[in-house]
Amino acid sequence: MKRPNYISRLLLCLFAGVLTTEAQQVVAPAPSTSAPPPGLRQAQDTGNQAVSPAEAAAGTLQQTSPFKWGPVTFYPHLFYRFLYGDGIQSSPGQQSTTAVQSLSPGVRLDLGALWTLDYTPTWTFYSNHKFKDTLDHALDLAGGTSYEDWTLQFSQSYNYSNDPLIETGSQTTQQSFSTAFTASYRFGSRMMLDSTISQNLQFTKGLSDSREWSDQERFHYQFSKHLDTFVGLGLGYVKQSQSPDATYVRPNVGIDCHPTDKISLEASAGVENRRFRSSSASDVNSPVFGLSVGYQPVATTRLALAANREVDPSPFAGQITKTTTLSADLNQRLLQNFYLDASVNHEAIDYVSSVNDTSAERHDKNYSINVKLSTTFLVRGTIAVFYQYRNNSSTAAGFAFTSHQGGLEIGYRY
């Protein structure tokens, strides 16, 4: 029996949801090249004419790669960026101007229909001697299959980076390992249960490391082809160096609504209770939520609004973070061959003590404006010019800054 389209979208959302949460970088990272396994990727809607050239190159064109050896298909990709910016912190309170060049050659492998593997190294060079040139690594493995009423997914990622971060106010070496397994089972045409077990390991040089294990259970009920709902419960255990261990319980509810082809709404809301072991700090009870609203009035225009709130370990010992983000994004196709992507983002972060009490020790507010104009060349190539404005205010001395960045990006991939 053919599954409803909403199930395919849901599985892709679950795949995206198990990726590791990245630290807030001052300089934007290269576009992601990871993708779901071929069997799940077919569920994506590639008919949206408002998508960017990079999204288009990652979709239909990638299915025609000439590099194939038995069950393995190769999709090479290359990305280069030149950026010139000011207000980039080399250490807390020390803002510098620098040119940044990044080169990211990589390859994605489709291993039959069930597995995909992507590896991308990134060389980054700074013109200012206050920053250190780096070689970063990103490796992603994902697998997925369906059998009768079961759908199974597995993902494993590794990331090594040494970027200027807003949290630390300096170039910071980080390593992260993320593992997740999701099993989904359908009860008839309207009900489904999905379970996700995950492990996230984060190692930050000179600061606090964290290890997190979690389980997320969700029961879905589809009222119609336009409306899916769920009730869920998340459980987790966090072990953080030089900090008390913590457990949390996170009940939540959510909806996925597509009343028309032009409007989409995904929302979830819940409350997290986080309890610290071997500590005099009080429990942290915090609302958590996610909201995404999309509107596509015509084929060449796409608007999106998003809001999110979450609780995570901090890179600093004896702290957790409560983060609230708001964003608005516009994708507009211009003159057939050009694509405008403009976004506004606001982020508020509270650094809360997990040792003595739960008062905020530091509060940051971060604003950013991003504008990018891109087009394609030689079918699979993309070229773009961009500008980014970022402002961060902080109650802690040395972490406030204002940065203007602009530059050129060139990418090519199968």
- Asked whether residue 329 is assigned to any structural domain, the reply reads yes
- Asked whether residue 371 is assigned to any structural domain, the reply reads yes
pLDDT of residue 46: 42
This prediction has a pTM of 0.85
Two structure tokens written together for 194:
């999905």
- Asked whether residue 407 is assigned to any structural domain, the reply reads no
For 211-228, what is each residue's pLDDT tens digit? 999 999 999 999 998 999
**Average pLDDT, stretch 6-16?**
46
Residue-averaged pLDDT of the chain: 87
pLDDT of residue 52: 57
pLDDT of residue 154: 96
pLDDT of residue 135: 97
- Asked whether residue 95 is assigned to any structural domain, the reply reads no
- Asked whether residue 338 is assigned to any structural domain, the reply reads yes
* CA dist., res. 37 & res. 15, Å (int): 10
For 271-319, what is each residue's pLDDT tens digit? 999 999 877 778 889 999 999 999 999 999 999 999 999 999 999 988 9
* CA dist., res. 120 & res. 140, Å (int): 9
For 42-52, what is each residue's pLDDT tens digit? 544 444 445 55
- Asked whether residue 97 is assigned to any structural domain, the reply reads no
Question: Residue 181: which domain range?
Answer: 5-74+109-116+132-378+386-399
- At 232, which CATH number? 2.40.160
Indicate if the pLDDT at residue 9 is higher than 90. no
- Asked whether residue 127 is assigned to any structural domain, the reply reads no
- Asked whether residue 408 is assigned to any structural domain, the reply reads no
| Domain count of the fold of the chain | 1
